[in-house]
Structure formats: structure tokens, C-alpha cells
Amino acid sequence: MNPKVLVADPIDVSAVEILKKAGFDVDLRPGIGANELESVVSGYDVLVVRGRTKVTSKVLERGVPRLKVVGRAGVGLDNIDLDAASKLGVKVLNTPESSTNSVAELVVGLMLAVARKIAWSDRVMRAGKWPKGEAMGVELSGKTLGVVGFGRIGRKVAEVAYAMGMKIIAYDVIKIPEDVLAKTQAKLTSLEDLLRSADVVTLHVPLTPETRHLINAEKIALMKPSAILVNASRGEVVDEQALVEALSSGRLAGAGLDVYEREPPTGSKLLELDNVVLTPHIGAQTVEAQEAAATMLASKIVEVFTTSRP
Ligand code: NAD
């Protein structure tokens, strides 16, 4: 009998093609409700989701013994009960590599949008004005970029920024190989020194108990008043209240944000500030990243079933 896959969220068609070609039977049920999922999941070997479907302990308990793999097309596993999956022996797969380029490009876009007041100029022009004088910006070339978390995305951002003439300094908790640093002539520093000397600080750490509010009022106080903070990692890495205060008081020049402590950030003071550029958590929201997430996930699923039929 062919292994059966339930696709519970919208996913790029490339994944379905790969799975079918490899002999899987695929049922497409994007948008399936929680109750329906609980009642049908026991008939599948693989459950494929994105961020919408909640893979709770109940779903997993109903799914076993047949359910062997839960695949998340993308990075975040917040919607999957990982403890329950591990207890029940259900393998969880994701594709953290799929969005690196897309997130890095968005980060560079945010840096430029803040430094050159692009979003603000657009807003003001649409209101019928010509704010040339007030739209005075700063160049990024020659400035220092501080990368907090020198992993996949942090390194890619560094590469693009280096090509624009920025100097790179980086902070990480793991040892970064010399050849990786050499690519962008990056210098490793402490977090405090990075915050003191960077003109743009960009955050690329995972959300962990250690990184929650890593950037708080105390840390912002170390930054140059002319500095720009960019966050496309996770909202809770920044104490948003402290950030709002720093941006409102002129303690910090600007910020570019893709992620928020609460999403959407309805009612947040951030929405009222002119020196902030906001995007709605779209780091991985590109045709290429979605296709990469789907193909990478499908290939990983096929590999699991061919190397060690679970
Ligand atoms: P990665 O694992 O490749 O890199 C993370 C780096 O952070 C690692 O080098 C790690 O050692 C370092 N790190 C961990 N804890 C640290 C700490 N306390 N201080 C300093 N460094 C620390 O991850 P990645 O693929 O580069 O992703 C980075 C972040 O981007 C994650 O938070 C991820 O959730 C987020 N992300 C956001 C979007 C989006 O849509 N905006 C999309 C994908 C990923």
C-alpha cells in the first residue's frame, strides 16, 4: 500500500508533484478544520502543514500508530506540539534553509527604507506633498552593520551589506569559522560592543529563553542615537515597549520591523511612528521561498520513507 499524505494547509504544487512521483497518495485538504483533522488523521502516514494548522497532542494521539511524519513547509514549529510528537515517536520535519535569501533581501530592503525614508516619502507624497527637504537620509555605504546571530540569514544579510560597502561586525554564541568571517571581513565582538559601534543593528537569533527581550531598554541605551534597528527574527527578541520609547524620544533614529511581540500588532504605538517601517511578517513570503519550502519538505519526506521506511 502506498504511504498516504494529508496536506492540511496551502502548499506549492511542486511538493505534490514530487510526492506523487515518489509513489505517495496525496490528499489535498487545505483549510481543513480542527475537528475534521482529528477525525481523519489516523488514516495517514504523513501530515503536511504550514503555520495555520495546529498539530496538537490530540491530533498526534489520534494519528498514531499510522502517522509517522509531520512536515512543516517553512521554519517555525510553534504550531506543532514537539513534546507530544517526540513521546509518540512521530518525526517532525521542517525547512529552515528555504527562506534564507528571501528574509535577507527583506532585511536589506528595511534597512534602505528606513535610512532613505522611502516608506515615509511615499506616504507624504500620496497626501499631495513634496517633502524633498525633510526626506534627508543617510547612506549605508561606509557604515557599520552589527549582525546579532551569525547563522544562515545573518551571514546572507552580511554578504549583501558588504557588497554595498558596509563594514560588518557580528555577535554569536557559537564559534564562527574563520573562512565564514573572511567572506565579509566580519569581526566578532561582544553584544555590548556591537551595540555601541553599529550604525545598523540587525537581529537574526532564534527565540529562546536567553534571547527573549535580548534587546531591552538597557541594551538600546548602548546604541548610537543615529542607529537603526532591524528585526526580522522573532518579535519577542525585542522589548517592544522599550523600542517604542526610544523611537519616540529620539533616543534611536529608526527601526525596520517584520515581526512583533503580538501579531498583528493592532493598537501598537509603533503604527503611529514615522521613523519605523513595518511589514506584516513577510520574510518568507516570496514565490521562491514558498516553492523552496515545498520542494525541500517533499524531498525530506521521500528520503525518510526510502532510507528507513518508518
Ligand atoms: P540559524 O539557526 O541559521 O542562525 C541563528 C544563529 O543565532 C546561530 O548562529 C546561533 O548560534 C545564534 N544564536 C542563538 N542564540 C543566540 C544568542 N543568545 N545570542 C547570539 N546568537 C545566538 O537561523 P536562521 O535561519 O538564520 O534564522 C534566524 C531567525 O530568523 C530565527 O529567529 C527565525 O525564526 C527567523 N526567521 C524569520 C522569518 C520571517 O519571516 N521574518 C523567516 C525565517 C526565519
**Are 208 and 267 in the same domain?**
yes
pTM listed for this prediction: 0.93
The total domain count for the chain is: 2
Q: Identify the pLDDT of residue 309.
A: 60
**Are 51 and 130 in the same domain?**
no
**Are 167 and 301 in the same domain?**
no
Q: Tell me the catalytic residues.
A: 234, 263, 281
Q: How far is the CA of 232 from the centre of ligand 1 (A)?
A: 9
**Are 231 and 118 in the same domain?**
yes
**Are 182 and 294 in the same domain?**
no
pLDDT tier at 18 (50, 70, 90 boundaries)? very high
The atom number, within ligand 1, closest to the CA of 154 reads: 26
Location of C-alpha cell 521562491: 288
For 264, the domain range is: 100-278
Cα-Cα-Cα-Cα dihedral sign, residues 179, 185, 189, 194: negative
**Are 169 and 48 in the same domain?**
no
Write 78-83 long-range contacts (CB < 8 A, 24+).
78/51, 79/49, 79/51, 79/52, 79/53, 79/54, 79/55, 80/49, 80/55, 81/55, 81/56, 81/57, 83/57
The atom number, within ligand 1, closest to the CA of 155 reads: 26
pLDDT over 80 at 131, yes or no? yes
| CATH number of the domain encompassing residue 16 | 3.40.50.720
Q: Residue 51: how many CB atoms within 10 A of its CB?
A: 17
**Are 15 and 54 in the same domain?**
yes
**Are 127 and 243 in the same domain?**
yes
To the nearest whole number, what is the mean pLDDT of the chain? 97
Q: Identify the pLDDT of residue 256.
A: 99
Q: Identify the pLDDT of residue 310.
A: 63
pLDDT over 70 at 215, yes or no? yes
pLDDT over 80 at 74, yes or no? yes
Q: How far is the CA of 233 from the centre of ligand 1 (A)?
A: 6
Q: How far is the CA of 150 from the centre of ligand 1 (A)?
A: 8
pLDDT over 80 at 63, yes or no? yes
**Are 117 and 265 in the same domain?**
yes
**Are 152 and 224 in the same domain?**
yes
Give the residues surrounding ligand 1 with Cβ less than 6 Å away: 75, 96, 99, 103, 148-154, 171-174, 204-208, 210-211, 232-234, 258-259, 281, 283-284
pLDDT tens digits, one per residue of 235-291: 999 999 999 999 999 999 999 999 999 999 999 999 999 999 999 999 999 999 999
Q: Which of 70-79, 81-90, 112-121, 122-131 has the lowest mean pLDDT?
A: 70-79
**Are 44 and 180 in the same domain?**
no
**Are 60 and 88 in the same domain?**
yes
Q: What percent of the chain lies above the pLDDT cut of 90?
A: 97
